[in-house]
A = this chain, B = another copy of it.
C-alpha cells in the first residue's frame, strides 16, 4: 500500500518530528505538516501513529543489522569485528541522528503487537555484540567484568551520543568510533 518513496519521505519527516518533540509530545498533525501533506493523507500510508514509529524503528534496526552482516562477512578476528560494528553503528548514528534519537528514547513506546518485532530486533542486535565480546573472552581471564554488563556499557557509550554529539565540535563519527573502541577494548582487556 502506497508508493514506498513517499513512505520513506514521511518516515524521515516523522523521525525529525519525534526526535524534536518526543513520540508522545508530537501530534500526527505535526507529522503531516512536516511531511507537507494533509492529516487524512497520512492515513493512506500509515494506519496509526504507532505504525509510523514502528516503521522508523524497524527500518533503522534492519538497516543496521544488514550493514553489519555485510561488513562482518569473511572477518575472523573478534577485535576487527568489534571495530566494524562500532564504526557501522556510529556512522549510521551520525548519518541518521533523528532516527537514532527516536530509537534510543522511544524504545518502550510501542505496545505488544507492534512492539514485539522491534524488541526481537533489539535482542538480535544485543546478541550480535554479545557474541563478539564472548569471542574476545580469552583475553579476559579473570572475568573482572561480566560480559552482559560490558555489552550495555558499550551501548551506553554509543547510544548516549544523541544527547550531546555535535559533529563540528566533537569530530567525525569515525573519530568517535576510534575513541569508543580504544576505551572499551583497552579498558576491558587490560593490555597496554
> Which chain A residues have a beta carbon within 8 Å of chain B's beta carbons?
22-25, 105, 107, 109, 144-146, 148-150, 152-153, 155-161, 163-165, 169-171, 176, 178-180, 182-188, 190-192
CB contacts (< 8 Å) of A171 on chain B: these are 146, 149
CB distance from A80 to the nearest CB of B (A): 18
Interchain CA distance A25-B157 in the complex, whole Å: 27
A21: nearest residue on chain B (CB-CB)? B24
A185: nearest residue on chain B (CB-CB)? B187
Interchain CA distance A156-B163 in the complex, whole Å: 9
Q: Is the CB of B157 within 8 A of A153?
A: yes
Q: Is the CB of B24 within 8 A of A163?
A: no
Interchain CA distance A23-B109 in the complex, whole Å: 12
Other A-B contacts than A156-B157, A183-B183, A184-B187, 4 sampled, CB-CB below 8 A, are A149-B179, A156-B156, A183-B184, A191-B192
